[in-house]
Structure 1
């Protein structure tokens, strides 16, 4: 009996050691997902009065770095250089049906999104290469659309990098991309 108990105790120690996996800490830039129409995933179920279509026009997945008292543009995010629009993996947009962004066609598909910010305008880039970390594998030959957007100043700093939508009317919305004191706006028709 003692031998049986000793075997059970030793076995449980090895099992505990085997499962004592240490997980890395949480990412400091949490992932977010936004839809157009705004709040689509929630409202399709809980706000039927909105009369939403069966699928969204598009969805964006991105990581949200934080300002944390730092200078963002011209420092953390360099002017005139490619930027992943967020942190970690390149921002990804899934377009469920053809849309027009500021009057330019973006076909149904999945794309990465990048930007080249300057003090006066950002060039927003839609690129066919997906599942990349940051902008390190960015290849201009995979660009399908580039849009210039004038920089607007926020009244208050935006602490966490953010992408949001606002529904203007049925089939038209605005994408806001903002961080710190800067933002750009793109009109999307779907």
Structure 2
């Protein structure tokens, strides 16, 4: 049997090809079906920044108890892919409760008439799979409203009065001072 020699150049080329293949296989986050998005703005003196994955409705039920996207009564990452993060550079009041300056995991529990809005001490996590209620720093309630228009893609707006989550035919305003 003839032995094939591998030169240093061939080995480095092979390693380079493997790294390139792995990078390609993971893909660019911007090419995900639910690409990353960011909303940022001022509420009073505070700068609010929300980072989230922006899923599309694609004809699927979103807010029903049987939905696989954001079912009523279950903790939702409030976006897609990684958990949504909420960051404020100053202490703020969210629906009347104090939230210290910092970066938080942002979760919600959708409901037909009222939602629980959650700011969790663990900002960097995948989805809500390891969500731990013991790590919540603030929980508030907010009332959803019917959106004036269909929002195919999930979007957050930071307004002078707070934050608004918009998706499908629902808007969830969250008051911030």
Instruction: Bin the TM-score by the shorter chain.
Output: 0.7 to 0.9
Given the alignment, which residue of 56, 60, 64 partners 2:54? 64
State the match for 1:84 in structure 2. 77
Q: Aligned partners of 1:164, 1:134: CA distance in 2, in Å?
A: 21
14-23 vs 122-131, which deviates more? 14-23
Superposed CA RMSD in Å reads 2.1
Structure-1-length-normalised TM-score: 0.76
Displacement of 1:159 in angstroms is 0.7
Q: Output the CA distance in 1 between the equivalents of 2:33 and 2:112.
A: 27
The answer for the alignment partner of 2:170 in structure 1 is 182
Deviations 1:75-133 (A, max 9, x none): 12111000000011111112211011122111111110100001111111001012110
CA distance in 2, matches of 1:130, 1:59: 13
- SS for the counterpart of 2:80 is coil
C-alpha deviation, 1:14, in angstroms: 6.1
Unaligned 5+ residue runs, structure 2?
1-6
| In structure 1, C-alpha distance between the alignment counterparts of 2:99 and 2:128, rounded to whole Å | 21
> Matches of 1:57 and 1:14 in 2, distance apart?
50
**Which SS does the other structure have where 2:134 is aligned?**
helix
Corresponding residue SS for 1:90: strand
Equivalent pairs counted in the alignment come to 160
Summarize deviations over 1:133-189 as a string: whole Å, max 9, x none.
01111111111111111110012211111111122xxxxx22101110111101211
**Higher Rg:** 1
Deviation larger for 70-79 or 29-38: 29-38
Contact residue 57 and residue 99 of structure 1 kept, 8 A: no
How many angstroms apart in 2 are the aligned matches of 1:144 and 1:18?
A: 45
* Residue 112 of structure 2: aligned partner: 119
Match of 2:121 among 100, 123, 128: 128
The answer on whether the counterparts of 2:143 and 2:172 sit within 8 Å (CA) in structure 1 is yes
CA distance in 2, matches of 1:16, 1:164: 47
| Residue 31 (structure 2) pairs with residue 19 (structure 1) | no
